[in-house]
Homo-oligomer: A and B are copies of this chain.
């Protein structure tokens, strides 16, 4: 952790206040250095009171993502979030982390952007990323999986995001296979899983995640208002993006460790329990082919098993899934 991260950690752990002398001792720096770091944290938007009786006290947080802050909140994880970088603006966070991946950066690295100029979704679609309104980020993983097993990671992301959203907002999101979370039938999260691989060996996987957090309804383009929503709209109030981001990374870490430990079936069970797709009639457009039937379950690799009208069981790994009424 950086010094700033340690100071934030200490301030949060001592909500009644912590003295400059204590901070200086814990961090092994001078009291003047503590004062200067506190000033810098104020500059980036943290409201920190100082007084002779209580020392320093954190009373307000900026509506900005800051790497030091996120690392202080996150604490210790196994893999995800050991390296966090925040950009004010990028083309797409997947592009940035792809470059880091090629430069040999370790798995678990996370790149956030306050806005993206070329955010993208599945099938080459555009993803809207308005400044400071959501979480737009990418996670680098280097799992020991074969290419067809990477669907497991999309599934794990969905379960992790569902738990994190519930714990921070109290909202229950439904999973729409393979990569969306919905609240009240409207999309609130999209996940794009990209990989670089040999035929039989994944080199790295990038999870690109977009969460609509603090938009008001009027901030969505008219054509999206019936199909998209934000956590703020659904919860009826602003959500701390930093708190949500940290919770998501923590839960992703949990599920990633489960998958690396060969326990994907646990993740899959949880996924099926939270899934709006299972048991429903669906139609799946796969290229020029349309499959219609009942979504029955996930298989071992996270593919969707659809029982067609003719009784065949089709294994669906992608395509465009529509829930039928």
Question: Interface of A with B (CB < 8 Å)?
Answer: 122-123, 144, 146-148, 150-151, 154, 178, 192-201, 203, 286-287, 317-319
Interface pair B317/A200, CB less than 8 Å apart: yes
Given contacts A144-B287, A147-B148, A148-B148, contact A194 B192 (CB under 8 A): no
Interface pair B199/A196, CB less than 8 Å apart: no
- A-B pairs, top 5 by smallest CB distance, nearest first, are A200-B318, A147-B147, A148-B148, A200-B317, A193-B199
Chain B's closest residue to A194 (CB) is B198
Task: List B contacts of A318 (CB < 8 A).
Answer: 146, 198-201
Given contacts A146-B318, A148-B148, A318-B146, contact A199 B287 (CB under 8 A): no
Other CB < 8 Å A-B pairs besides A146-B317, A147-B195, A199-B318, 14 of them?
A: A147-B197, A150-B199, A151-B199, A192-B198, A193-B198, A194-B198, A194-B203, A195-B196, A195-B197, A195-B198, A195-B199, A198-B318, A199-B317, A200-B286
Cα separation A146 to B286 with both chains bound (whole Å) = 11
Task: List B contacts of A201 (CB < 8 A).
Answer: 123, 318
Chain B's closest residue to A122 (CB) is B198
Chain copies in complex: 2
Task: List B contacts of A286 (CB < 8 A).
Answer: 200
Q: Is the interface of A mostly helix, strand, loop or mixed?
A: mixed
Task: List B contacts of A197 (CB < 8 A).
Answer: 147, 194-195, 197
Cα separation A195 to B178 with both chains bound (whole Å) = 21
Cα separation A317 to B194 with both chains bound (whole Å) = 20
Task: List B contacts of A178 (CB < 8 A).
Answer: 199
Min Cβ gap A264→B in Å is: 15
Chain B's closest residue to A317 (CB) is B200
By CB atoms of chain B within 10 A, which of A147, A154, A199, A317 has the most? A199
Task: List B contacts of A195 (CB < 8 A).
Answer: 147, 196-199
Chain B's closest residue to A148 (CB) is B148
Chain B's closest residue to A198 (CB) is B194
Min Cβ gap A12→B in Å is: 38
Chain B's closest residue to A98 (CB) is B102
Task: List B contacts of A203 (CB < 8 A).
Answer: 194
Cα separation A196 to B204 with both chains bound (whole Å) = 10
Task: List B contacts of A199 (CB < 8 A).
Answer: 150-151, 154, 178, 193, 195, 317-318
Cα separation A319 to B146 with both chains bound (whole Å) = 11
Cα separation A319 to B196 with both chains bound (whole Å) = 18
Min Cβ gap A181→B in Å is: 17
